[in-house]
Every structure is written in C-alpha cells, then in structure tokens.
Chain A
Amino acid sequence: MRISFSFLTGMLALCSAAAAQIAVVGGTVHTSAGAPITNGVVLVRNGKIESVGPASSVRIPTGYRTVKAAVVTPGLIDAHSVVGLSGYLNQPHDQDQREVSAPIQPDLRAMDAYNARERLVEWVRGFGVTTVHTGHGPGALISGQTMIVKTREEPVARSVLVPEAMLAVTIGDSARVQQGKSPGTRAKMLAMLRSELLKAQDYARKRQKDDSSQARDLRLDVLRRVLNRELPLLVTAQRARDILSALRLAEEFNIRVVLDGAAEAPLVIEEVKRAGVPVIVHPAMYRSSGETENLSFETAAKLHQAGIPLALQSGFEAYVPKTRVVLFEAAVAAANGLGPRAALDSITIGAARILGIDKRAGSLEPGKDADIALYDGNPFEYTTHCTGVMIDGELVSEELH
C-alpha cells in the first residue's frame, strides 16, 4: 500500500497537535467548578485537561509548553446560536437557518447546512467561544434541528459533539405565515403542534409493533425521539402567554422543553420554576421591540434569583449585528444583577448542563476536553482582550480580540 507524502505529514501534524502538552498559567483561573484559583495552572495533555490547581501544588513537567495569561476561563459555550448556518453577508446564498416552504420541518438536520469556515464562527471563536449550540433558527413553527459543535475550522463530522441536539420550535408572532396559510394565529400554532405530536404517537405505536404497513417517515422519526424524551424541544417564546403554551405542551405530552428567549419570563416566573424547565435567556442586549418589548437587561438575574437553571445565548439576528457574542452578553448580564460568577457560569458550566455536555465541556476539571479561553484582564470588561483560545488542547487563536 502506498501512502502519499502529504497524507503522512498531515497525519503527523494531526498527531502533534493532539499530543501537544501545554501548561496554561493564569494569574486568576476561573474553573466554573469551585472558587477561582490565584496563580493557577491547567495542565493539558492529549487534548484533555490533566490537572488543575494552584502553581504551588501543580508541578509543570518538563517538555510542556507554557502559555500565560492574566485570566483563564473554560472555553465559552454559546447555548443558542445560528452561526455556521446564518452567514455574515446576509445574502440569500448564505442564509440556511430557515427554510420557508413549510411551517413544520423536523427532518432538517443542522449538520447538513453547517459551514465550519463561516466568518462568524471564526468571529465568536476569537472571543473565547469554543462550543456552539447552533442550527435551525427561530421564525417557523418547527424550523428543524440543532446540533452542538466545537468551533474548529474542520469538517463538521470531526468537530460535532451532538449531531441532533434539540428540535427548534417557535411560538409567537415570528412563526406566523402569510395570510391564507397556517399557522396564522397562536391558537392554531398550538393546535398544529399537538396534532403533529399525536400523529407521532400513533406512528411510534405502529413502528414499535414492527408494522410493515407503516412506512418510515423522517419527520415523524424525529418527533418520536421528542416523545421518547431523547430530544428536547427548544421553544422560542418571548410573550408570557407563549411561554405558558410551551409549558402546557410539555406537560400534556410529557416531553422535555427548553425555553428560549423568554423575554417575559419574569411575569410568569413561578410557573416556569414549577415546570422545572431550563431557560436559554435572550441576549442581554437584544432589541426591545415587538414581542420582546418587555425584555430587560435583568431577565437573567431574575431567573437566577428564582433558582431557575439558565444559560445565555447569542441568538438570531436578521440584520446587523449578524451575530452577537456571548462574552459580551454575559458581561452586560453580569453588570445588571447577575454578577460575574453566575454570568460566567451561564456561558460555561450552566450552558453545558442545559445542553447535556457537562461531562466533556464547561469547566476546567481533569478529564474534560481542554477547551480554554485566555484574557489580559477581567473577561467582562469592554477594554479587556481575549488573548488566546484553545480547543481540544490546540491553540486555535493567539491574536488579540
């Protein structure tokens, strides 16, 4: 068998990157797994975190490259985005986050549309974002699936963590379609969602009996996974009544729901808490108009105070800025009642838990993926720079951002 030279060197490069041994030394290391460590060290080996602790107790073995920063955090996790599908130019050719031919399309997979080399993926990565939950956006009753992916610039099959993460549902004004078609009203949206789930129950029964008369249906296959609680519904709902509709749906079908946006959640905070659903809160700086007219810089703080699990997100933007950056959104939330510790959690371990990836990402703990962000000061201050980003033990950015 002949192996080409370029293939060999490629393999060598891959091995050396993966096997790189790095000691990240930080003036302050925020682990998202306990109190911050002053003069901390994070040892990285084979793409994983080997050990974390104060410099006085973690010895840096010989042969490790040392990378220094004033402040170190876990790689940031954007709990809900459309980067990679909704491109930065905002022209028809680079907008793949919403397909408008039908209001219900659960069969659309995020992987089939994700562009790992899109400029906005690179943009958020420069600000420390190492993992994004991205995919089909809000704006259709069921717009499609989402996935969880590392922001590496490589084929999606290699960087994806969870290929089918959630199913994106929107309840509210943005899910309305043109006159004469459905859904045109909120009540119709719920009637359609309920009908679809009933259909999926029936389908699941028939498929379970191995009924050969029941042909396979890609759309119902996905809804069946929703009914099995394998796949949560990511329900974008800004108005209080739409939030309640989502909770009603979760209860009726015993399905998992993650609330998204939730601008008016503070108006129904008891109900949200009782339902035990997590909330991926609207970006702190999201525009307050239309359905989001009552949002607040303090939404995240209020949910946190009520003990509701939450994460922050960059969200979907139809115009400029084409994406937001969770580092900036968490900063504004931190300054508006959430506080820096909970704000950092909301874009690291808190997000990881809601996304179900906390065994691999979200905190600096031995055995987890070596996803790390470096800064030259307080990460949330406007004038601080993100100075380095590491994904799976590889420094993917060393420029100032």
Chain B
Amino acid sequence: MLFRNLCSLVLWLSLAFAQDVPVAFTGGRVIPIAGPEIPDGVVVIEKGKIVAAGPSASIRIPANARRQDVRGKTVMPGLIDSHSHIGGIDGGDSSAPIQPEVRVLDSLDVRDARIQKAQAGGITVVNVMPGSGHLLSGQTLYLKLRDGRTVYDLLMPGADGKPLGGIKMANGTNSRRNAPFPGTRAKSAALVREEYVKAQEYRDKIHKANGDTSKLPARDLRLEALVEVLDRKRVVHHHTHRHDDILTVLRIAKEFNIRVVLHHVSDGWKVAEELGAAKAMCSIIVLDSPGGKEEAKDVSFATGGALEKAGALVGFHTDDGITDSRLFLRSPALAVRAGMSREKALFGVTMANAMMLGLEDRVGSLEAGKDADLVILSGDPLSVYTKVLETWVDGAKVFDRADPKDRLYATGGFGASHDQGPEIFYVEEFE
C-alpha cells in the first residue's frame, strides 16, 4: 500500500516535469546502441518517452516539436551504472555476515552531491548498493537520477509497485573477518548455502500452507528477501575478484538456480572460458593500476575484451567512490584500449547494464517506446576531450553544463561536494 502511494507520487512528479511539447534533437551523431551509429540523426522525445530515433532523412519531426540543434554533438542513451555507492547509503552493520532484511531504501540521502555529480557524468540509472564487507550486506536500489526532493522521487517501481532492486553479496577477502563473520572461503560458502536452504524450507512452508493463515510461518524479513532471490525475482549482485571465488559464485548460483550478476570480476580473464560458457553477466571495474588489495592484484584493462571474446555479457560500473561517476565513459574507453570492441564497450555502459538490472525493456537504448533518458556529448564518447553537455531523464533535463550551478558539479571546485540545499525545488536563485 505504502509503495502504491509512492508510485503515484512518482507518477505525479514525472508528469509534472515531463515536457509539454515534443523535443527533437536534430543533426547530431546518434548512437542508438540498438543499431549502428547514425552520422546525421534525429531523436524525438515526448511525455518522457522516446518516440523516434533514426537518420534525419527518415524521421518525421512533429510540427509542434521544439527543435534542439545538436549538430557536431553526439546523442546516446543515458548511461547505466550497475554498481555505485552514491547517496551516502549504508547497509548491514557489523553484527552478522548475512543481513538480507537491510534495505538501501532506508538510508539514502537524496541530497548527496554525488547524485548531482553522477548526473553530470551522464548517468541516468544507477544500482545503489551497500558495501562488500558482508557475505550479504542488504537490498540494493535501482534509481532513476531525476532531480529529487525525497528518495521516492528517484525510485523505479516494478509491476507490483515495489521499488526495484537486487541484493548485494560478496565473497573473497572483504567479508572475511572475526566471528560471527567467516574466517575462510569454504566457511563463507557454507554460511551462504545454509541460508539458502533455510529460505527454501521457509518457502516450502508457505506453499504447504496454501493460503491457510493458521499454517503460515511467522513472517521473516530475512527469509522473505531470500525467497525473492530463490524465485529469481531479485537478482544477486555479487562482489567477486579472484578466479576461484568467481567460480564459487557460479557454482552456488547453479545449485540454487539463482540469477546472479558478477561484479568487479578482476580475475575474469583467467576464467573467461567458463564465464563465456555460463553466459555469465559480468559487471566489471576498470582501475588505473593493479592491486590495492590482494584479490585485485591482477585486475586488467583487458578483462572486458577477454570476456567479450568468450561470449559473456560485459557491463561496466563505477563503484563510485572507487571511480568517479563523472568519468564513467573512461572505463569502456580503457577497455577498448586493451582490445574490446567499441560497439560492445558502449553496449557495456548502456544495454548490458540494463539487462543485468532487468530493465532492458525500459532503458539502455534509443528506441521508440523507451524512457527518454539520454545524454548529449560534445564529441566522441571514448575521447578524453569529450564533455557531457546535457543529461535528460524521463524527458526532463537534469544536467546542463551551460548552467553554472550544474557546471560546478561537473568540474568540481568550492561547494561541489556540499549536499544539495533546498533550492533544487523551491528557490530559483539561491546564491
């Protein structure tokens, strides 16, 4: 019920901010992701949705459309970040290694300046996750980076009205600590399997009760979330670096028939064959140097290309604050430097991530019917000299580099890390 109300609020907000007239971005290079790049293209949006995208010669622009000339610029879908920590969020505490009942929803600070910085980086959808210091640190949250006053303004409700998100898990070294945390890798795996078995039994009891409330087990927030995982309604976003840890995740996912996205995948190039054969969804990180911790000692720019060749699905993430949301396009560019195809690298910051979040029908490409989430770039997406000029979410412009207030978030400088004041909705000029 609560979520239905939230949902209607979001709907109201998005209607309130959606453009009244269609907008046509004309004459730019269009990278639709859904097809080949278009040197001279048009994208038309209306009421928060894309209504057309294609070559200028073949797109009819509605007579009432406001035209925005983007000649010399590039239009591509809003970037999707499948793993970020913006919003000043937290997850589980240090009391236990497995905390599926904890929600990012209950901790997000919508005024965190890093949300504005992510908009400045062209990011329109983000999976905000708790950290990797637990085997399971909590429920993640998929956000639309609209300009928001409360967390509800940014949610992406699913068919049942509940905000979409996954669940964050980790193996390897981060989640190894003193008791009650596991002390070894085998113990880590055993604790997770034990928890899944409990959830299976809980689900069986619910099934057996067959609607008879007297026979239903007491509600268990932890197991409820895990049942969603077992039912493949909630994706596991799994931090994993070392080659053997990666295979452990796949092994357990197969045992319990779980939908899993592998995150970081630093050693992925060592087990590329296995990842390809499993058609694994890999959200990788690109770092400026190897190491920083033992399990990332062999992280490589070449992982993206190696996994692409092996046939895995490759996405990129910022892991913000590990890398900066404003430099997200640097990750696919460095992957291209090390052998990945340009096409799949750009797919990796858009559609691949949409697929990993189960949002491929709504976002990730410039196709009629999808959400009007797009970025306007000053040049080629893989050039260091290219700037994000504008970011649009649901047909509303949320970042404009020409606006000095927005530019501050793009470049940094005094005040760029301060939380948003009340001015974003109520006061035109605060300064």
Contact = CB atoms under 8 A, between A and B. Distances in A.
Interface of A: 87-91, 119-120, 123-124, 264, 266-267, 285, 287-289, 293-298, 317, 319-325, 328, 331-332, 334-336, 380-385
Given A297-B411, A382-B383, A328 B288 contact: yes
B336 A89 contact: no
Given A89-B297, A320-B291, A381 B417 contact: no
B412 A297 contact: yes
Contacts of A88: 289-292, 297
Interface stretch (B25-33, B306-314, B319-327): B319-327
Contacts of B293: 89-90, 319-320
A95 B330 CA distance: 29
- Give me the 5 closest cross-chain CB pairs, A-B, nearest first: A88-B291, A320-B292, A382-B333, A296-B412, A293-B417
A382 B383 CA distance: 6
Contacts of A382: 330, 333-334, 336-337, 382-384
A264 B412 CA distance: 11
Contacts of A323: 288-289
Interface string B278-298: 000000000111111110110
Interface in B348-397: 382-387
B413 A294 contact: yes
A384 B337 contact: yes
B379 to A, nearest CB: 10
A296 B289 contact: no
Contacts of B414: 264, 266-267, 294
Nearest to A318: B292
Given A324-B288, A335-B385, A285 B327 contact: yes
Contacts of B412: 288, 294-298
B289 A325 contact: yes
Contacts of B288: 285, 321, 323-325, 328
A297 B333 CA distance: 19
Contact of A324 (B289, B321, B322): B289
Given A297-B412, A385-B337, A89 B291 contact: yes
A295 B414 CA distance: 7
Nearest to A317: B292
B413 A91 contact: no
A325 B287 CA distance: 11
Contacts of A383: 333, 336-337, 382
Contacts, number: 110
Given A298-B412, A324-B288, A383-B336, A89 B294 contact: yes
Contact of A320 (B322, B336, B384, B418): B322
A334 B384 CA distance: 9
Interface of B: 287-294, 296-297, 299, 321-322, 324, 327, 330, 333-334, 336-337, 382-387, 411-418
A285 B289 CA distance: 13
A119 B324 contact: no
A295 B408 CA distance: 11
A319 B289 CA distance: 11
B246 to A, nearest CB: 18
A331 B384 contact: yes
Nearest to B330: A382
Contacts of B333: 382-383
B292 A321 contact: yes
A264 B287 CA distance: 26
Nearest to A301: B411
A332 B410 CA distance: 13
Given A320-B289, A321-B287, A321-B289, 17 more contacts: A89-B291, A90-B293, A91-B294, A285-B324, A294-B415, A295-B413, A296-B412, A298-B411, A319-B322, A321-B292, A322-B289, A322-B292, A323-B289, A335-B387, A336-B411, A382-B383, A384-B337
B291 A90 contact: yes
B118 to A, nearest CB: 13
8 contacts: A89-B294, A119-B291, A288-B416, A293-B417, A322-B290, A332-B327, A332-B384, A383-B337
B411 A296 contact: yes
Contacts of B386: 335
A123 to B, nearest CB: 5
Nearest to B329: A382
Contact of B290 (A119, A289, A381): A119
A331 B386 CA distance: 12
A336 B382 CA distance: 16
A305 to B, nearest CB: 14
A296 B299 CA distance: 27
Nearest to A302: B413
Contacts of A89: 291, 293-294, 297
Contacts of A123: 289-290
Contacts of B382: 382-383
A380 B384 contact: yes
B321 A287 contact: yes
A298 B418 CA distance: 18
Contacts of A298: 411-413
Nearest to B117: A288
Contacts of B327: 285, 332
A145 B289 CA distance: 25
A289 B112 CA distance: 12
A333 B383 CA distance: 13
Most-contacted residue by chain B among A87, A288, A296 (CB, 10 A): A288
Given A89-B297, A285-B324, A385-B337, A296 B291 contact: no
Contacts of B385: 334-335
Nearest to A294: B414
Counting chain A CB atoms within 10 Å of each CB, the highest count among B288, B296, B336, B413 belongs to B288
Contacts of B417: 288-289, 293-294
Nearest to B386: A335
Nearest to A384: B337
A297 B401 CA distance: 14
